[in-house]
Amino acid sequence: MSFGLSIHAEKISQQFATGLMPIRDLSFICAPGEFIALLGPSGCGKSTLLRMIAGLRKPSSGTLAVGQEQGASEKRVSYVFQEAYLLPWRKVLENVTLPLELLGASRVEREFKARTVLERVGLIDFESYYPSELSGGMKMRVSLARSLVTEPQLLLLDEPFAALDEVTRLKLDQELRDLWLEAKMTVVFVTHSISEAAFLADRIVMLSKKTSGIAQELTNPLPRERSFATRADSRFTELTQQLFSQFQELEA
Amino acid sequence: MKVHLKKVGLPVLAFIAVISVWESIVRLGWISAFILPEPSKVWSSLIEDWPELWVALKTTTFSVGISFFLSVSIGICSAILLFTSEMVLLALYPYTIFFQTVPIIAIAPLLVIWFGYGVPAVVASAFIVSVFPVIASTLTGLLSADPALRDLFKLYRASRTQSMVKLYLPSSIPYIMNGLRISGGLAVIGAIVGEFLGGVGIGSVIDVARAQQRIDKVFASVLLASALGLLLIKSIDGVSYWLLRHWHPSEAKES
Ligand SMILES: Nc1ncnc2c1ncn2[C@@H]1O[C@H](COP(=O)(O)OP(=O)(O)OP(=O)(O)O)[C@@H](O)[C@H]1O
Ligand SMILES: [Mg+2]
Count H helices and E strands in chain A, helices first. Answer: 7, 9
pTM as predicted: 0.88
Residue numbers of B between 224 and 253 with CB closer than 8 Å to A: 246-248, 252
Q: How far apart are CA A96 and CA A104, in angstroms?
A: 14
Name B215's Cβ contacts closer than 8 Å, sequence gap at least 6: B33, B34, B35, B36, B37, B209
Residues in chain B: 255
| Pick from A65-69, A107-111, B13-17, B80-84: least confident | A65-69
Chain B nearest CA to A130, separation (Å) = 7
Indicate whether A50 pLDDT > 90.
yes
Indicate whether A2 pLDDT > 70.
no
Question: Is A190 within 8 Å of A157 (Cβ atoms)?
Answer: yes
Question: Is A63 within 8 Å of A75 (Cβ atoms)?
Answer: no
Q: How far apart are CA B162 and CA B154, in angstroms?
A: 11
DSSP character string of A74-133: ---EEEE-SS----TTS-HHHHHHHHHHHTT--HHHHHHHHHHHHHHTT-GGGTT--GGG
Judged by a CB distance cut-off of 8 A, whether residue A228 touches chain B is no
What is residue B154's predicted lDDT score, i.e. its pLDDT?
A: 94
How many other C-beta atoms are found inside a 10 Å radius of the C-beta of residue B28? Answer: 8
What does the pLDDT look like over A74-104, one tens digit per residue?
A: 788 999 998 999 999 999 999 999 999 999 9
The alpha carbon of A159 and the centre of ligand 1 are apart by a number of angstroms equal to: 13
What is residue A252's predicted lDDT score, i.e. its pLDDT?
A: 67
End-to-end CA distance of chain B: 16
Question: Is B33 within 8 Å of B26 (Cβ atoms)?
Answer: yes
Question: Is B186 within 8 Å of B8 (Cβ atoms)?
Answer: no
Structure confidence at residue B253 as a pLDDT band (50, 70, 90): low
Size of interface A-B (CB pairs under 8 A): 49
**Which residues are bridge partners to A23 per DSSP?**
A14
Indicate whether A226 pLDDT > 80.
yes
State the helix-helix crossing angle for B50-84 and B215-244, rounded to 10 degrees.
40
Judged by a CB distance cut-off of 8 A, whether residue B164 touches chain A is no
Cβ of A22 less than 6 Å from ligand 1? yes
**A101–B247 CB contact, under 8 Å:** no
Judged by a CB distance cut-off of 8 A, whether residue A77 touches chain B is yes
CA angle A154, A155, A158 (to 5 degrees): 140
What does the pLDDT look like over B209-233, one tens digit per residue?
A: 999 999 999 999 999 999 999 999 9
DSSP three-state, residue B248: coil
The amino acid sitting at A62 is G
| CB neighbour class for B206 (10 Å; exposed up to 12, middle 13-18, buried from 19) | buried
Residues in chain A: 252
Q: How far apart are CA A97 and CA A114, in angstroms?
A: 6
The amino acid sitting at A154 is L
DSSP character string of B65-100: HHHHHHHHHHHHHHHHHHHH-HHHHHHHHHHHHHHH
Structure confidence at residue A1 as a pLDDT band (50, 70, 90): very low
The amino acid sitting at A78 is S
Domain ranges (residues) in chain A: 1-76+154-219, 83-151
Q: Report the phi/psi class of residue A19: left, alpha or beta, with left for phi > 0 and alpha for psi in -120 to 50.
A: left
How many other C-beta atoms are found inside a 10 Å radius of the C-beta of residue A97? Answer: 23
Multiple choice CATH, A1-76+154-219, 3.30.450.20, 3.40.50.300, 3.10.105.10, 3.40.718.10? 3.40.50.300
Could you tell me where the DSSP H helices lie in A121-183?
136-148, 166-183
Question: Is A114 within 8 Å of A96 (Cβ atoms)?
Answer: yes
**A102–B157 CB contact, under 8 Å:** yes
What does the pLDDT look like over A116-164, one tens digit per residue?
A: 999 988 999 999 999 999 999 899 999 999 999 999 999 999 999 988 8
Question: Residue of the nearest CA to atom 17 in ligand 1?
Answer: A47
